[in-house]
Amino acid sequence: MGKRNKKEIFEGGIENLTPDQVIFCLGMYIKMVSNIEGFTLNTAKTISTFGLDDVIEIEIKNKSINYIYDKAFLFLKLIDLKEKYHLDSIKKYINKDGLTAIKAGKEYFLKLEEYEKCQTLYEFEIFFNSSLAIKS
């Protein structure tokens, strides 16, 4: 398999992902969503040094959060829960932190009324819950 560009990957190329790429996609989602608070806090501190209007600061913070959730979701949606090797690849990496990140994404997109993303995240939540129950 040759190198693929970002557009090919994010615009629907879930076929032919290697198990390592599937694990990477899950890890990127979890890492990005788990670090949103730290990122937005650092962004807010930096923005406050510019002396901008409070409304502009809030808008920048909200846009930053939206950007991170959207980009994180792009990684997650590359994982196909109907593909056995995708499921087998991520099973051992499922933990409570990942479940927390999945729930956070679902809550965020629910507020924005992006129900298709919520449905995808709900399917991951079910898979995570069942996998965690088996591990217990």
Position 11 in a domain: no
Number of domains in the chain: 1
> Can you tell me the mean pLDDT for 65-75?
94
| pTM for this entry | 0.82
Identify the domain containing residue 55 by its residue range. 18-135
Residue 48 resides in a domain: yes
**Residue 30 within any structural domain of the chain:** yes
134 is written with which tokens? 């088996």
7 lies in some domain: no
In a domain, 2, yes or no: no
Dihedral sign from CA coordinates of 121, 126, 130, 133: positive
Least confident piece of the model among 3-12, 21-30, 87-96: 3-12
Decide if 115 is inside a domain: yes
- Answer whether residue 25 is part of any domain: yes
> Is 45 domain-assigned?
yes
Backbone CA torsion sign across 32, 93, 73, 122: negative
- The CA distance from 3 to 96, in Å, is 33
Q: What does the pLDDT read at residue 134?
A: 83
pLDDT in tens, 32-68: 999 988 887 787 778 778 777 777 778 888 888 999 9
